[in-house]
């Protein structure tokens, strides 16, 4: 077996040869004529002219060898149910769903927005879109109506799919009513809304002529069989919206062939998941981890994937380990916050179940602090691999790659650059590589490898401007994360270089939250920063200037306005973005050119030195921040 260093070196020096080899891991209806077209930097087109299908690779391809093997196991501790689908059964479900979508006029290239809880139908709908060549865009169920409306207007879907409701911690979450609200706000709503009724919302209102019932409609397609649409490798497979530094979320556009190859290769080289084995990824289908490692990658690899609706501590903190034992899970993927939650519970839960089937537990989505890494490694007695990536990359960018070489793990480090990624740590100001042991910006020299975003949906210029212009004189992809490499070549991620924060693995733009806070009629302006939190990594904290201060003379008046502001954020963005507190001040610290000094505010909120303040307009503003924090 090639050593990691040699494997990585080859992936960069002989890019095309390397990826042509990896491309053999998937089925091509038509082989490509060119492995890489990089004639228009930084746009990389992989496997040009090749035709394939994510759905064919995930399902049809496995029917002969493993038709009766489980493909999808759905477990809901929320509604106390589980359902299992073999590859044959899952293919039949996807065929029915695809025929149903087709009957509603969904065609190749058209968008379908999914606002769905963690139910098997979400998996059917995603794969049905892939079968038809339609572009799915899953919106995380925690987003509020206004956020959903913004995504609808950007994607302009032909159809939306939702459910009557979801369930969280035993409480029903009304999905359909939220969609109704979003469709009222949207300027370009689709004509049709398909609803899967779970019986969670009996009072659900129905809009005649627009709302359609999944179960009733599907009856007409019980035995449908639909051939897969073959797509050119670079056609879009999906859009996934993610937060950045502006208020407007970006539609990360993914291709077909490059993504399928990248996922298949990652299962072999990073996750060590083999056909016939079982993978359990605890994320949500609304996030990139759910797309890649609940749905596509395990199925492309011929594995059984476990989809879980519930939280890690209900009915008790042993539930995930019970699932590992009961289903003999080989590969598990979760997030640091979940592990920190479990750390607060009785460690006996980890000993109660036999987790020896696990080859590795992978953790990603936010920084994994060293104590948590040590704790989970010792408690589980299995290797725990921290790995780092982004919605944009679609698959890991820094990770140990045990399928290539079993390198030693260092606690708190996502190890090394993954093959295909030419990672450079650059000095923030000079753009020069930093020496080992010095902090730099994590960047990737293009072309980005297969599987990474192809562009921003509908906006090539924004793709280039957002990601490739961080350094004046070079076209290089910025992750907007700080990193450091030690003398052994191990990387450590030190947090974001921009105004994006990470709350329990959920990425939020502070600008977006500021816009939501400012929706309150009594808020003139505000600044939102992320402050360290021992459980969730970071939490948003808001400082706001009120228009009418007369209501703020009493502590009770302040509390009331704070609550109203929080409710405004819930309504416009979703409860995941709700600030931990809202402090009222009469002015915000700004530079003389009018830029809010967010980093200084953040430093004060975390009890650190506020840094260089020579450009501050009015030092009294910072004094107010200090007092507000003190109070």
Site residues (vs ligand AMP, CB under 6 A): 242, 288, 364-368, 386-391, 414, 479, 481, 493, 496, 502, 507
Closest approach of ligand AMP to the CB of residue 442, in Å: 8
By beta-carbon proximity to ligand AMP, the closer residue of 78 and 366 is 366
By beta-carbon proximity to ligand AMP, the closer residue of 50 and 365 is 365
Q: Give the position of tokens 């191990």.
A: 490
Closest approach of ligand AMP to the CB of residue 380, in Å: 17
By beta-carbon proximity to ligand AMP, the closer residue of 50 and 483 is 483
By beta-carbon proximity to ligand AMP, the closer residue of 248 and 325 is 248
For residue 334, give the nearest of 371, 398, 273, 290 by alpha carbon.
290
For residue 113, give the nearest of 160, 149, 53 by alpha carbon.
160
461: CB partners within 8 A, 6+ apart: none
Closest approach of ligand AMP to the CB of residue 370, in Å: 12
The DSSP line for 507-576 is EEEHHHHHHHHTTSTTEEEEEEEEEEETTTEEEEEEEEEES-GGGGSSHHHHHHHHHHHHHHHHHHT-GG
Q: Treating both helix axes as pointing N-terminal to C-terminal, what angle do 175-185 and 145-155 enclose, rounded to 10 degrees?
A: 60
For residue 179, give the nearest of 209, 154, 210 by alpha carbon.
210
Count of C-beta atoms within a 10 Å radius of residue 14: 12
By beta-carbon proximity to ligand AMP, the closer residue of 318 and 336 is 336
Query: What token pair was written down for 90?
Result: 């899952």
Closest approach of ligand AMP to the CB of residue 59, in Å: 26
By beta-carbon proximity to ligand AMP, the closer residue of 128 and 529 is 529
- Answer for the pair 232, 214: CB distance below 8 angstroms, yes or no: no
C-alpha–C-alpha distance, residues 371 and 334, integer Å: 17
By beta-carbon proximity to ligand AMP, the closer residue of 334 and 502 is 502
Closest approach of ligand AMP to the CB of residue 387, in Å: 6
Q: For residue 1, count CB atoms less than 10 angstroms from its CB and return exposed for 0-12, middle for 13-18, buried for 19 or more.
A: exposed
Listed in order, strand segments (DSSP E) in 175-259 are 192-196, 211-213, 231-232, 238-242, 250-254
> Please, what's the b/e burial string for 216-229 (b: 16 or more CB within 10 A of its CB; e: otherwise)?
ebbeebeebebebb
Closest approach of ligand AMP to the CB of residue 130, in Å: 21
Closest approach of ligand AMP to the CB of residue 392, in Å: 7
Closest approach of ligand AMP to the CB of residue 405, in Å: 20
What residues are paired with 507 via a beta bridge? 502
401: CB partners within 8 A, 6+ apart: 4, 7, 269, 270, 407, 415, 416, 418, 419
By beta-carbon proximity to ligand AMP, the closer residue of 375 and 389 is 389
Closest approach of ligand AMP to the CB of residue 497, in Å: 9
By beta-carbon proximity to ligand AMP, the closer residue of 140 and 584 is 140
By beta-carbon proximity to ligand AMP, the closer residue of 66 and 496 is 496
Phi-psi region of 592 (alpha: psi -120 to 50; beta: other; left: phi over 0): alpha
Closest approach of ligand AMP to the CB of residue 365, in Å: 5
């Amino acid at each position: 077996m090639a050593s990691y260093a040699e494997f990585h070196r080859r992936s960069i020096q002989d890019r095309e040869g390397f990826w042509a080899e990896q491309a053999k891991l998937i089925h091509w209806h038509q082989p490509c004529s060119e492995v890489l077209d990089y004639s228009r930097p930084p746009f990389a087109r992989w496997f040009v002219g090749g035709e394939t299908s994510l759905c064919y690779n995930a399902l049809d391809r496995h029917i002969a060898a493993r038709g009766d093997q489980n493909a999808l196991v759905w477990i809901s501790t929320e509604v106390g149910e589980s359902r299992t689908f073999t590859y044959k059964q899952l293919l039949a479900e996807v065929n029915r769903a695809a025929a149903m979508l087709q009957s509603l006029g969904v065609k190749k290239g058209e968008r379908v927005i999914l606002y769905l809880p963690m139910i098997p139908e979400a998996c059917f709908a995603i794969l049905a879109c892939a079968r038809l060549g339609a572009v799915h865009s899953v919106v995380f169920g925690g987003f509020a109506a206004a956020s959903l409306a913004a995504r609808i207007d950007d994607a302009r879907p032909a159809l939306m799919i939702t459910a009557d409701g979801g369930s969280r911690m035993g409480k029903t979450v009304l999905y359909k009513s939220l969609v109704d609200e979003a469709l009222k706000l949207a300027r370009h709503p689709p004509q049709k809304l398909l609803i899967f009724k779970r019986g969670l919302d009996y009072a659900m209102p129905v809009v005649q002529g627009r709302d359609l019932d999944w179960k009733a409609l599907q009856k007409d397609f019980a035995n449908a069989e639909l051939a897969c649409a073959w797509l050119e490798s670079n056609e879009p497979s999906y859009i996934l919206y993610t937060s950045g530094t502006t208020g407007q979320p970006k539609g990360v556009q993914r291709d077909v062939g490059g993504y399928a190859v990248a996922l298949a290769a990652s299962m072999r080289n990073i996750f060590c998941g083999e056909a016939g084995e079982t993978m359990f990824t605890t994320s949500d289908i609304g996030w990139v981890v759910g797309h890649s490692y609940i749905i596509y990658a395990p199925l492309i690899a011929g594995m059984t994937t476990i989809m879980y609706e519930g939280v890690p501590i209900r009915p008790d903190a042993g539930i995930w380990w019970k699932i590992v034992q009961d289903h003999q899970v080989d590969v598990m993927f979760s997030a640091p916050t979940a592990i920190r939650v479990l750390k607060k519970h009785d460690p006996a839960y980890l000993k109660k179940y036999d987790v020896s089937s696990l080859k590795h537990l992978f953790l990603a989505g936010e920084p994994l602090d060293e104590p948590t890494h040590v704790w989970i490694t010792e408690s589980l007695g299995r290797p725990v691999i921290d790995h780092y990536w982004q919605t944009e990359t679609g698959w890991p960018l820094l990770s140990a790659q045990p399928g290539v070489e079993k390198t030693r793990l260092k606690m708190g480090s996502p190890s090394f650059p993954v093959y295909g990624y030419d990672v450079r740590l650059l000095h923030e100001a000079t753009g020069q590589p930093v020496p080992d042991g010095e902090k730099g910006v994590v960047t990737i020299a293009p072309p980005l490898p297969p599987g990474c975003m192809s562009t921003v949906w509908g906006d090539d210029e924004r793709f280039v401007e957002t990601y490739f212009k961080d350094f004046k004189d070079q076209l290089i992809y910025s992750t907007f994360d700080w990193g450091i490499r030690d003398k052994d070549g191990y990387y450590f991620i030190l947090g974001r270089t921009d105004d994006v924060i990470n709350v329990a693995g959920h990425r939020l733009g502070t600008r977006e939250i500021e816009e939501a806070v400012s929706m309150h009629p009594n808020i003139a302006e505000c600044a939102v920063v992320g402050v360290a939190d021992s459980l969730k990594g970071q939490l948003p904290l808001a400082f706001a200037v009120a228009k009418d201060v007369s209501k703020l003379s009493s502590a009770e008046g302040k509390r009331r306005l704070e609550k109203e502001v929080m409710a405004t954020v819930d309504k416009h963005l979703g409860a995941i973005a709700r600030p931990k507190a809202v402090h009222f001040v009469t002015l915000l610290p700004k530079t003389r050119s009018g830029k809010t000094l967010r980093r200084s505010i953040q430093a004060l909120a975390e009890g650190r030195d506020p840094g260089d303040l020579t450009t501050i307009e009015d030092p009294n503003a910072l004094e107010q921040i200090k007092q507000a924090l003190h109070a």
